[in-house]
Homo-oligomer: A and B are copies of this chain.
Amino acid sequence: MTELEVSRRERKKEETKERILRVSFELFRKHGVEATTVDQICEAADVAKGTFFNYFPHKEELFGYLGEVWVDEAERRVAEALDQGPPTWEQARDTFIEFAGYYEEDRNLGKYMAQEWNRGRFDPADEVCRRWDALGKQVIVLLQSRGELRADVDPALIHRILGDVYHDTIVMWLESPEPPFPLQDELRRRLTLVVEGLGRKPKEGR
Contacts and interface: CB of A to CB of B under 8 A. Distances in A.
Contacts of A198: 149-150, 153, 158, 161-162, 194-195, 197
Q: How many copies does the complex hold?
A: 2
A199 B148 contact: yes
A177 interface: no
Q: How large is the interface on A (under 10, 10 to 19, 20 to 34, 35 or more residues)?
A: 35 or more
Contacts of A106: none
A157 B193 contact: yes
Interface in A64-95: 89
Contacts of A162: 198
B168 A164 contact: yes
A190 B157 contact: yes
Contacts of A157: 189-190, 193
Nearest to A206: B199
Interface string A151-172: 0010001101111110111011
Nearest to A147: B199
Interface of A: 89, 115, 118-120, 143, 148-150, 153, 157-158, 160-165, 167-169, 171-172, 175, 189-190, 193-202, 206
19 contacts: A89-B199, A89-B200, A115-B118, A118-B118, A118-B171, A120-B175, A148-B200, A158-B193, A158-B198, A158-B199, A160-B172, A161-B198, A162-B198, A163-B168, A164-B164, A194-B194, A196-B199, A196-B202, A197-B198
Closest A-B pairs by Cβ, 3 of them: A197-B197, A149-B199, A164-B168
